[in-house]
Amino acid sequence: MTMTGRQTLTLMLAASFASTIGGLPFNSLPILLGALTDSFGFSAQQAGFLGSACFAGFFLGTLAAVFVVDRVSWRLLTVFAAVAASAALLLSSRLPAAAQLPLWALIGFFAALMTCLGLRIMGEMANKERALGLRQGIELSITALVLFILPAFVIAQYQYTGAAITLSLIILLLSLSALVLPRRSRVTAQAPQLSLAQQLKLPAIAWGGLFVFFLFLVGQIGLWAFLERMGRALELQPAELGTVFAVLKLLGGAAALVIAIVGDRLGLRLPQLVVFGVICIGLLLLYRADGFLSYAFGAWVWEVGFTWGCVFQTAMIARLDPRGRAIMLIPAAFAASSMVGPALAGNLVAGGFESLLLLALVSAAVGAAVFGLYLGRRAIQDAPQQTVAAVPAAELS
């Protein structure tokens, strides 16, 4: 059975909501850790360990997803992961400090399962750029709303307990998307079950794409980690910084939705060059920033390029592995780069922000060169085989 346009849109929306379940704990981590620190009296070092535990759990969850997602019902997986993540959040608000480390690892683990499931479903769409753009646009838009509500209306009155309860309720609400999710891909349901080692036997070119994506993320996430510090160095006021980051998230969502509209009309290679050009403009504005407006426009332009880069490179990796396994390792690349990027950036900013901007520029250049010149050509050459594979992959039970 081939899906109609309306059924495809419904599936993409449901997969986007499921993926947002995984993105919420990840994207709201700084605010949650700040509230947790205030409520439990943690030191900065202890809060850092909790963040590391969450990233470690997220990384393990991405590896587990390669083995789990195609073996269980997607509906049951969504409900189970949502309930488990919500329960871990609620327990973290009730149990003492000693229990926080394993609880936050569990939060990261189940969040990764949801992120991977959303990517797995989107990776089966024929127009991967449109599907992944819609997913990221919805995820960032919901995240922006949550990040606006939590600090001002929840944490200010109810501290971390209120934040944990609110986030748990939102996750459970999003889990209703399971009602319209397919049970699983009909192709993988009929395929023989593979071991974890066999599942990780990706085409060499797909592993190469994942590694280059990791390098791209190291530079960009390193800059993201110290973007607020750059504003502080320019003596921006907290209200000005709040405005910059609120608009930044909204622009990220809008940028992803633009790709959802454009889809693959620009081909596979040109978008990589566009991404590099936009990031270069943003980095130049940040380098020359001397006040609120120049800093804000630099951050906003860079965010658009970063968002586009994530979507287009993810879509390219999906095309390099038509069996849909490589795309489930995208969150693993995010988790690994989130551990490496900020640490590397922290060492660089000791000598000034110029070195950090240069790191972001070089990592963006590597991504544009490899994805735009080499991997893009390979994906175009493999396009006929992928087109054939995409038709049955869209048949979902």
User: In terms of domains, do 272 and 237 share one?
Assistant: yes
User: In terms of domains, do 191 and 235 share one?
Assistant: no
- Tens of pLDDT, residue by residue over 125-135, are 777 778 877 88
Question: What tokens were used for 106?
Answer: 């569990």
Q: Which domain holds residue 129?
A: 5-197
Is residue 209 within 8 A of residue 316, CB to CB? The reply is: yes
User: In terms of domains, do 226 and 144 share one?
Assistant: no
* Structural domain count, the chain: 2
User: In terms of domains, do 158 and 280 share one?
Assistant: no
Segment among 4-8, 86-90, 390-394 with least mean pLDDT: 390-394
Residue 56: per-residue pLDDT: 84
Structural domain ending residue among the three candidates 197, 215, 235: 197
User: In terms of domains, do 146 and 226 share one?
Assistant: no
Closest of 127, 97, 113 to residue 8, by C-alpha: 127
- C-alpha atoms less than 13 angstroms from C-alpha of 129 in its C-beta half-sphere: 19
| Phi, psi dihedral angles at 28 (to 5 degrees) | -95, 10
Question: What tokens were used for 150?
Answer: 């939590």
∠ CA 16-396-71, nearest 5°, is 85
The residues, any chain, with a CB within 8 Å of residue 261's CB and separated by 6 or more, are 130, 133
| pLDDT > 90: percent of the chain | 27
State the pLDDT confidence band at 359, using cuts at 50, 70 and 90. very high
Total Cβ atoms within 10 A of residue 73: 15
User: In terms of domains, do 216 and 278 share one?
Assistant: yes
CATH of the domain at 145: 1.20.1250.20
User: In terms of domains, do 261 and 248 share one?
Assistant: yes
Residue 383: per-residue pLDDT: 52
Cut 0.75: pTM above it: no
Residue 107: per-residue pLDDT: 93
Annotate 272-304 with b (16+ C-beta within 10 A) or e (fewer).
bbbbbebbbbbbebbeebeebeebbbbbbbbbb
State the pLDDT confidence band at 164, using cuts at 50, 70 and 90. very high
User: In terms of domains, do 56 and 185 share one?
Assistant: yes
Residue 390: per-residue pLDDT: 43
User: In terms of domains, do 107 and 23 share one?
Assistant: yes
User: In terms of domains, do 165 and 300 share one?
Assistant: no
State the pLDDT confidence band at 23, using cuts at 50, 70 and 90. confident
Distance CA(365)–CA(78), nearest Å, equals 37
Q: What is the mean pLDDT of residues 26-55?
A: 76
